[in-house]
Each structure stands twice: as structure tokens, then as C-alpha cells.
Amino acid sequence: MATRRLVEVYLDLLSQPCRALHILLNCSKIPHTVRNVALRKGENRTPDFTKLNPMQKVPVMEDNGFVLTESDAIMKYLANNYDVPEHWYPRKPERRARVDEYTAWHHTNTRPHAARVFILEVLLPTQTGSQVDEVRLNRALSQLDDTMDKLESMFLRRQPFLCGDDITLADLLAVCELMQPLGGGRDVLEKRPQLQGWRSRVQSAVGDSFDRAHAVLYALRDRRKAKL
Ligand SMILES: N[C@@H](CCC(=O)N[C@@H](CS)C(=O)NCC(=O)O)C(=O)O
């Protein structure tokens, strides 16, 4: 009888969608193997990795020969195919549709807007040795503010998590994006008690898998702080 191989995931934990997937895997105890792909070393552009994902991006998942990209699709696939608590991706159509509603919105709102702050404040200056472009940074912060207003007034209106009373994979995708600017020492939730309360609820719900996934980001923040 053919033996089923463990789920393999290709991750760099400095990547927001990789952390969301990492937390889901650890919290729901899906047996898996992590293959590290260091983006800073260009390991996503090697011939082998490019064969796996021609888009040269992480995360990637392989389940017994089935290769899948896109964090959102991977997390939903795992929730559909593995014995994970139902709250992550509820089966009831209306509740599931709420998760799909957020994840569709996420990729053109929370994701690009939070990522841009990190890119402008940390990645670009590190890669090019140039100063932070304050004009572009302020524009990015203002777009992120609009997104956070919507998270508070639409998704978190009268409910503790983005899609209802319990945590779903939508909360993982969102929280990992909103944590990213912390790599540059910026807590974008600093003046937002409603979102802070939500982040604390997410942290309590996932336990130590939150800090394990974010250890690389915290280390980046601490290294940069020590240089100041
Ligand atoms: N929509 C994709 C985004 C994947 C993505 O953009 N990954 C970034 C890291 S956060 C990456 O691999 N970048 C490498 C590159 O573009 O060279 C997902 O959610 O999985």
C-alpha cells in the first residue's frame, strides 16, 4: 500500500501569508514538514523552486504530489481536507461565505496597504541604502488607515472576530499583515483599541503559535532598534 506523505510547506516566516499558514498548521495540529525558502537569499528563484512555483513566491504547499500556491487557497484546502476544528472555515454556507467575503477583500486592501508600509520603511531602504521616502510612506499610511477604519466599522462591527463569534482563517491572514510594519518598529494598531482588542483575542485563540510564527519579525524589529 502506498504511504501518504506528510504535507510539505515552503515558507519564509518574514512573509505575512506564510505566517498565517504556519499558525493554522500548528494550531490545528496538521502533521507537516516545513521547507525554508529564504527570500533574502533568492531561494525562491532557484530552478527547483521555480519548477514548483513558476511565480517564484511563497507560500507553496505540496500534499501527496498535489502542489498548491496562494495562502488563501492553501488554508481553505487544508481546512476542507484535514481534521481541523470547524470554526477555521465553517461549513454552513452563510458563515463560509463571510470568510470568503473577507478573504476576497483582503487581497486588494489589508494585504497591499500594510505590506506597502513595510516595503517603504524597511525593505526598500535596506535593499537600496536610500532614505525612507516620507511622501510615499505617508500616502501608504493613510491608505492603511482607511483599510483599518473599514475593518473596525464593517468587519468587527458588533462581533469579536472578522467573520463572526469565532476565529477563522480570515483573522489569521489579516493579523499577520497588520503585524508586518512592526518589523520596522511601527505598531499600526497603537491608537486603535478596537483592533488591539481583536488582535489580543486572536493571540489568545492561537496560543504560542502566534509568537512562534512572529519570532523572525520580532528579531528584525529588535535588530533595527539596537542599531538606532
Ligand atoms: N497572494 C499570495 C502572495 C504571495 C507573495 O506575494 N509572497 C511574497 C512574500 S510575502 C513572495 O514570495 N515574494 C517573493 C518575490 O516576489 O520575489 C499569497 O497570499 O500567497
What is the tens place of the pLDDT at every residue in 52-99? 999 999 999 999 999 999 999 999 999 999 999 999 999 999 999 999
- Read off the pLDDT of each residue in 27-38 and give the average, rounded to a whole number: 96
Tell me which residue range forms the domain holding 27. Answer: 7-88
Identify which of 9, 11, 13, 15 to mutate to test ligand 1's pocket (most ligand atoms within 8 A of the CB). Answer: 15
Last residue of a domain, one of 88, 109, 132: 88
Identify which of 43, 58, 119, 173 to mutate to test ligand 1's pocket (most ligand atoms within 8 A of the CB). Answer: 58
Residue 219 is assigned to a structural domain of this protein: no
Confidence check: pLDDT of 4 > 80: no
SS3 (DSSP) at 172: helix
The pairing of strands 60-63 and 66-69 is antiparallel
70 in contact with ligand 1, CB cutoff 6 A: yes
Query: Which CATH number do you get for residue 180?
Result: 1.20.1050.10
Shared domain for 98 and 199, answered yes or no, is: yes
Shared domain for 192 and 112, answered yes or no, is: yes
Q: What's the 67 CA to ligand 1 centre distance in angstroms?
A: 16
44 in contact with ligand 1, CB cutoff 6 A: yes
pLDDT tens digits for 191-208? 999 999 999 999 999 999
Residue 105 is assigned to a structural domain of this protein: yes
Query: Which phi and psi angles does 219 have, rounded to 5°?
Result: -65, -40
Shared domain for 141 and 103, answered yes or no, is: yes
Q: What is the pLDDT of residue 67?
A: 98
Shared domain for 22 and 118, answered yes or no, is: no
> Which CA distances in Å does 44 have to 11, 27, 177, 179?
10, 26, 20, 23
The pairing of strands 7-11 and 32-36 is parallel
The rounded distance, in Å, linking the Cα atoms of 15 and 118 is 11
Shared domain for 152 and 197, answered yes or no, is: yes
The rounded distance, in Å, linking the Cα atoms of 175 and 183 is 14
58 in contact with ligand 1, CB cutoff 6 A: yes
Shared domain for 193 and 118, answered yes or no, is: yes
Residue 104 is assigned to a structural domain of this protein: yes
Confidence check: pLDDT of 228 > 90: no
Q: What is the pLDDT of residue 14?
A: 98
Residue 217 is assigned to a structural domain of this protein: no
Q: What is the pLDDT of residue 109?
A: 98
Shared domain for 146 and 200, answered yes or no, is: yes
The rounded distance, in Å, linking the Cα atoms of 1 and 122 is 50
pLDDT tens digits for 113-162? 999 999 999 999 999 999 999 999 999 999 999 999 999 999 999 999 99
Shared domain for 62 and 131, answered yes or no, is: no
Confidence check: pLDDT of 2 > 90: no
Last residue of a domain, one of 88, 115, 143: 88
Shared domain for 128 and 201, answered yes or no, is: yes
Shared domain for 69 and 102, answered yes or no, is: no
Shared domain for 99 and 174, answered yes or no, is: yes
**Ligand 1: residue whose CA is nearest its atom 18:** 70
Q: How many domains does the chain have?
A: 2
Give the chain's end-to-end CA distance (angstroms, integer): 59
Residue 216 is assigned to a structural domain of this protein: no
Q: What is the pLDDT of residue 1?
A: 60
> Quick check: pTM over 0.85?
yes
Confidence check: pLDDT of 166 > 80: yes
Last residue of a domain, one of 61, 88, 115: 88
Shared domain for 168 and 102, answered yes or no, is: yes
Atom of ligand 1 nearest to the CA of 59: 20
Residue 82 is assigned to a structural domain of this protein: yes
Q: What is the pLDDT of residue 152?
A: 98
Q: What's the 219 CA to ligand 1 centre distance in angstroms?
A: 21
**Ligand 1: residue whose CA is nearest its atom 5:** 57
Query: Which CATH number do you get for residue 40?
Result: 3.40.30.10
